[in-house]
Copies of this chain bind each other. A is one copy, B any other.
Amino acid sequence: MSGRRKESAVIISQEGIALDIYSMWIHTEKIAESAVPGQFISMYTKDGSKLLPRPISLCEIDRQKSGIRVVYRVTGTGTGTEQFAKLLSGDTIDILGPLGNGFPLDVTENTGKNTKDCRAMLIGGGIGVPPMLELAKQLNTEKIMVMGYRDQQFLRTEFQKQGSLYIATEDGSAGTKGNVMDAIEGNGLSADIIYACGPAPMLHAIKRYAEEKSIVCYISMEEKMACGIGTCLACVCQSKEIDGHSHVHNKRVCKDGPVFLSTEVEI
């Protein structure tokens, strides 16, 4: 018993950063201390009608200030995320974390290349954009960042500070018109390792692209969750290898993931 607990954490600040997109800083020593990019937290409402967690990725981790940042989308009216959006600084929020494995930061181990020779491509799509920010901050190598949005962009200035940023928008309002794959092809981008988070069709395309080009590729997956810690077996994805838990082909997104080698999972 390590004493991990669901904690009632204080909200440092919250603001809307785009239509239906909110950014919240939460004070939590425990999580800020140990978390790595790509991990997530379970966020809970105080409404007894909504008992399950909302898994939300860490967008930034501030060890100094014992803070974590989450950026999330309000998915509709009457949702849990809508309730989160109403919270103000000083309010508390119940959270559990850090959860999951996170992105591997050691590019050499993954590509065989020196840090200075290695080029990493970070791809985010929609609400998969936020976790790429802390990854970009911690990744100690050349970075190409490709972020795809429907229309409104967010976190753009933060990314620009971290390296070369390419934008794709579905409506063509900025960057390449189309999706992240269009931006990659349109700009002739290439890399030695890929990190990606976004909707399933995007991950599917990236997985194919990476495998065709034999690029090591890590993707962060999504599934509905109940426990968030690997017990309930709600959040499985189909894995190539027999999984360590149930000895079938079902890896748990919450515990064995959310980050998987693209070759490891089906999508």
Mark A residues whose CB is within 8 Å of B: 46-50
Contacts and interface: CB of A to CB of B under 8 A. Distances in A.
Nearest to A78: B48
Nearest to A50: B48
A50 B46 CA distance: 12
A50 B48 CA distance: 8
Nearest to A49: B48
Q: Is the interface of A mostly helix, strand, loop or mixed?
A: loop
Contacts of A49: 47-49
A46 B47 CA distance: 7
A48 B47 CA distance: 6
8 contacts: A46-B47, A47-B47, A47-B48, A47-B49, A48-B48, A48-B49, A48-B50, A49-B49
A46 B49 CA distance: 10
Contacts of A46: 47
A86 to B, nearest CB: 10
Nearest to A83: B46
Contacts of A47: 46-49
Given A47-B47, A48-B48, A49-B49, 5 more contacts: A46-B47, A47-B48, A47-B49, A48-B49, A48-B50
A48 B46 CA distance: 9
A43 to B, nearest CB: 17
Nearest to A47: B48
Nearest to A46: B47
A50 B49 CA distance: 9
A8 to B, nearest CB: 13
A91 B49 CA distance: 21
Nearest to A48: B49
A50 to B, nearest CB: 7
Contacts of A48: 47-50
A49 B50 CA distance: 9
Give 5 closest A-B pairs by Cβ, nearest first.
Answer: A48-B49, A47-B48, A48-B48, A47-B47, A49-B49
A46 B50 CA distance: 12
